Structures are given as C-alpha cells and as structure tokens.
Amino acid sequence: MSDACGCDDDRESDEPEQEEPAAWWQVREIRAAAVAGVLLVGGFVAARAGAPGPVATACNWAALLVGGYTFVPGTVRRLARGRIGVGTLMTIAAVGATLLGEVGEAAMLAFLYSISEGLEEYSVARTRHGLRALLSLVPQEATILGADNSQRLVALADLAVGDRMLVRPGERVATDGIVRAGRSALDNAALTGESVPVEAGLGDSVYAGAINGTGTLEVQVTSTAENNSLAKIVAIVEREQARKGAGQRLADRIAKPLVPGIMILAALIAVTGSLLGEPRTWIERALVVLVAASPCALAIAVPVTVVAAIGAASRIGALVKGGAALEGLGAIRTLALDKTGTLTRNTPTVIDVAATEGTSPDHVLAMAAALEARSEHPLARAILAAVPNPPPAADVQAVTGAGLVGTVAGHRIRLGRPGWLPAGDLTARVAAMQEAGATAVLLEENGIVIGAIAVRDELRPEAAEVVARLHADGYTVAMLTGDNGLTAAALAREAGIEQVHADLRPEDKSAIIARLRATQPTAMVGDGVNDAPALATADIGIAMGAMGTDVAIETADVALMGQDLRHLPQALAHARRSRTIMVQNVGLSLALITVLIPLAAFGVLGLATVVLIHELAEILVIGNGVRAGRVRPLPPFTAPQATVRTLSGATP
C-alpha cells in the first residue's frame, strides 16, 4: 500500500513470505481486533457491574496491547528507517492518551485501527487471490504419449517442451501447445472472457486452462507450466500493479506532506494552548487532531480500487497493466482502430462471384479453386474455403505479379488480376467489386473470360455493433489502415466509422495519433507489429487478440486476450466506472479530514468519537473500492453464417 499510509507490508526482506488469507477471519489484524474487542467489552461490563477498578483497567490494558501489536511494531521499524506514516500518528495518539490516564480511549483507538488495517489487508488479498486463482484452472497432472503411443501421467511441473500431451473430452489443457492430431471445440472463457467455444484442429494453438469439448486432441507442448499463458498473465499483472496511476500519485502527493504537517500542527496546538490555557486540555486536543487528520483513507483510496479493478478486468479477458493504464483507459475519449485483424478477422473471404451468360458461379469457383490448390497466395485460402473439394488441376504455373495458369479437365484455365486478363462483359461488375473494397480476380477458360471473384477481409460480425456502442458512449472513433482508400472507405461505411485514414505507413499512423492526442486523450487499438509505433504514441495502447502473443502483452498498456471486439467497450466502461470510484474515494477522504480537523482542534469531538468516525470512513472507502471488482461477463455472441453474396444487385 502507500508509503504515506504507513500501512504497507512491514515484513523485513529476510522474513518468509506468508500465505495470503483466503477468508476474513484468517487476517492477523482482524483476529487481534476481535480479541481486543472482547477485552474492551469485558472491561466495560466489569466497570458497570461494580467490579474492582483494577479489573476494568486490566482489560483495557490487555485490549490496548493486543490491538497495538498490529501496528506499533511496524511503526517503530519504519521510524528506524526514517519513514513516518499514519501508523506514527496513531502510535503517538495511543501513547499520549495512555500517559494522560485515558487507557480505555487508547484501547478503543487500537481496536478500531486494527480493524481497518485488517479489512484493508483482506480486500487486497481477496483481489489478488482471485487473480492467482487463474493458475488453479490447469490440472496438476497431464497424460503424455510415449514414442510407442503408450500413455502415462506426469506432474504438471514435469512437462517439457516437445512432449506429446493427450487431452480427452472434458479435460482442461495443462499448458500451451499446438494440436498435432484430432479436432475439437475449446472453451477459453476463463482466459479470454469469450463464452463461444473455439474450433481447434491440426496446427492450431491451444492455451493452458482451456476446456476441451467432445473431441480428443494430441497436443505438442510449447511452454512449461512456469511459462505458459496463464502464468504470464498473472506475473505481468502482479508486476504491473506496482505502477501507480495519476490518481494514486495524487493521493500520495497529498498524503506524504500531510503526515508531517499534521504532526507540526498538533505540536503547535499543544504548545500554544498550554501557554494560553489548560495544558492537559490542549494536549488532549492535539492528540485528537493527530487522529482526525490521519490520511490513511486517502492513501488507500486509489490502490484498493486499482487492485480490485485490475483483478476484475482479467476475468473478462482484459489484461490491464497497472494503475496508470487503468486510469488512462478510463480517461480516453478518442479511439483509433486498426483495420486488419482488429475491425476485420484477417481472414479473406469470397464475397461475390460474377459469371457470364451460360456459366454458373459454382463452375467459376470450382475452376479457380483447382488452380489455387497449388498456390501459396493469400487469396488461395479464401477461394479454397468456398470450394473445399476442388477438381484436380495439371501443369499449374504461377505468373509473377499476374496470376496462375493450368489445365482442368482438359480445359486451359487462367486466373489473375484485371489488366492481365481483360474484363470484357464483366467490366461493370469488376468495378463494383473494387468500389466495395474487394480484390477482384478474373477467370478465363479456353481463352474466354467467364467469371470474376471478389475477395475481401470482412468485418468482424460484431464490429458495427461495437462502433455504434462506442459512439453512444461518447467516443470519437477513427480507422487507421495501410490498405487502399477504396477498401478502407467501404469497410468504414459498413462499420459506421466516419473518420478514415488509409494508405498509411507505420510512421504515418503514429503521426495521426499524435494529432488526435492534441485534442483529447486517445487510445490506439491494433494487433500487428506495424501498429507498434502508434501503440507507443497513444495515451493508451490496446492490443487486440493478444492471447499467446508475447510482444503484444509486453508492449501494450492493455491487452484484450480474446477475439471478440465487444470486449473493447466493456473494458472501457469498466475503466471509466473504476476511475469514478477512485475520484469518489479521494473526495470523501479529503472532505473527512477537512471537517474533522477543526472539530477536533476546538474540542467539539473527543478522541473516541474521532477514532470511530475516521475508521468507519476508512472502512467505507475500502468497501467502495472493492466495488470496482464487480464485472458482468458478456452474453454469448453467435456470428452469422458466412455466405457468398452478390454486389451491386447484379445477377450471378
């Protein structure tokens, strides 16, 4: 926690790390407070029952010692290192009250302060425990296959890169790997926040913690248990939680000078009051001022919220790297979206087929697929996806920069770009394809052009919905892409984006981001290496689909682990809500100090009352901060079935 608070971990570096409490009653401070509370009640009852005075006094002393043990030793150690904090104020107040004979008051202070310290510790431990619980998603044993396909169970820690791992239906994947045999649907909800299972087959990557569906998979291990995706996520979040956001830094800037300032103020009250009036009265008031001005609520106002919010974000598939990133994300007003891989699926698809009279679109596709089956061109995958079982082709040759030639069923076939092949009667259709942002290829059979095929990297099915929601939430949305203007404009119209910047190099994207930042806080959302300069230039860089991508996770401020673009507005809304909670906490803490100091200085409130109000307010701040840990998962999204469609209303 904050140094100013003085509530940070007091363990020396050589002390063994203690296991974080899983339940509130496991927190040392809360257990001590419970004992101190029982002793205080015992002393109160003994006094009211007419027991001898030493009995009630002994109970109060015991309560003071038990409660004070939770913070006084740590305060002394920090003082020895030249550090002061709220614990210093509380210790001075408790000692002063004791010297004045108010042991019961001092015991009440120690009791309430130990409660607030315990609840603070529990709130932080609970959010950290929720994050580290991700590691429990992986099984502790895995089945590996030997060279003779024999099966044996090995401990998770004994898995080595290169091992062949057998994942049966319903089992969780033990660590990251690549599918070498089998096909199944994997539930990645715990990792990416996406509820729709993802198909995985030969050559596809799978990640630790994913739940296998109905198929059996043979997976080649690519990372050890200590270095898999889940372990990286937890390690990065825990490391980056130390990064302080602007609000937290503001709280610390206020709290750090406040502590010595209050000590000076209390000393002035005690000295000046003693010279002008009753010394005992003014010393008591000075002690009350010390407690009233304690900035611990202020110091923990933001950290508790940050820890809770980051832990919650990880459960919805958003890796937020520290308080600075969280607060920055909550302040964003402009979003610059990369096209390929962010707004689109980075999977080219056949969107239109034109055929001349007497020829069917199916025949055009089949002939094109026959040639593309021998090609490594990016368009080949799209055409082959439309025709899974193309006819065989012979003598297929690639013409550099133009297309393919070959023979199918005795017919001479050429497939290539307009210009290399004449469009002829299909000129209007080819123009319509290009105006729609598609790449058009022509098919020639026996010297006659018989068809044209349009291929385009389509928008994600949820893209238009996401952009509409961003606009409704008050964000300015722009598209940045290195693609040509026609393609960019066509896709932007479908997505509902008005600001379009096309034909951009990486440095151009960075320059545009710099101009956008000059008007309002800007985030860049991208997925590729070419987006790196823009991600670095933006106030907040957001990596899309970063699961298993080391570079994206390490370089971006926020990483959306899944492929569902709906997580973007969800993460933004979560960050804005968390930022609002931070502001509420800081405002409440400052208002409390402002009100209590004069009331304490003029004797309106006594020590017990101030302690009670102050610690109750601190508990309120903690409780409000923990609210940032509440998130709702996205409802399932079923993408519409992809179909080959016709552009411009022309007949196929």
Q: Enumerate the active-site residues.
A: 338
Contact 186, 213 (CB under 8 A): yes
Round to whole Å and give the CA distance between 309 and 574.
8
Round to whole Å and give the CA distance between 302 and 2.
10
Pairing of the two strands 151-155 and 141-145: antiparallel
- The one-letter amino acid at 626: V
Our measurement of the distance from residue 263's CA atom to the centroid of its chain's CA atoms, rounded to an integer in Å, reads 40
Round to whole Å and give the CA distance between 538 and 558.
12
- List C-alpha distances in Å: 544 to 378, 552, 559, 568, 607: 22, 8, 6, 9, 54
Query: Which residues, in sequence order, are CB contacts of 579 under 8 Å at separation 6+?
Result: 247, 326, 327, 330, 331
The candidate with the shortest Cα–Cα distance to 214, out of 184, 248, 240, 253, is 184
Would you tell me how many other CB atoms lie within 10 Å of the CB of residue 515?
A: 9
Would you tell me how many other CB atoms lie within 10 Å of the CB of residue 222?
A: 18
* Phi, then psi, of 87 in degrees rounded to 5: -55, -35
Query: Which residues, in sequence order, are CB contacts of 595 under 8 Å at separation 6+?
Result: none
* Phi, then psi, of 180 in degrees rounded to 5: -105, -15
The candidate with the shortest Cα–Cα distance to 212, out of 175, 165, 169, is 169
The tokens describing 256, both together, are 């750090």
Round to whole Å and give the CA distance between 40 and 46.
10
- The one-letter amino acid at 195: S
3-state DSSP of 50-75: CCCHHHHHHHHHHHHHHHHCCCHHHH
Contact 221, 161 (CB under 8 A): yes
The tokens describing 180, both together, are 């070498």
Produce one character per residue of 2-38: b if its CB has 16 or more CB atoms within 10 Å, e if not: bbbbbbbebeeeeeeeeeebeeeeebebbbbbbbbbe
**Ramachandran region of residue 524, left (φ > 0), alpha (ψ -120 to 50) or beta?**
beta
> Can you spell out the DSSP letters for 582-650?
HHHHHHHHHHHHHHHHHHHHTTSS-HHHHHHHHHHHHHHHHHHHHGGG---PPPP--PPPP----STT-
The tokens describing 294, both together, are 């304690």
DSSP 173: P
Q: Which residues pair with 491 in a beta bridge?
A: none
Produce one character per residue of 49-67: b if its CB has 16 or more CB atoms within 10 Å, e if not: eeeeeeebebbbbbbbebb
Round to whole Å and give the CA distance between 240 and 223.
23
Would you call 31 helix, strand, or coil by DSSP?
A: helix
> Look-up: residue for tokens 């994947």?
173
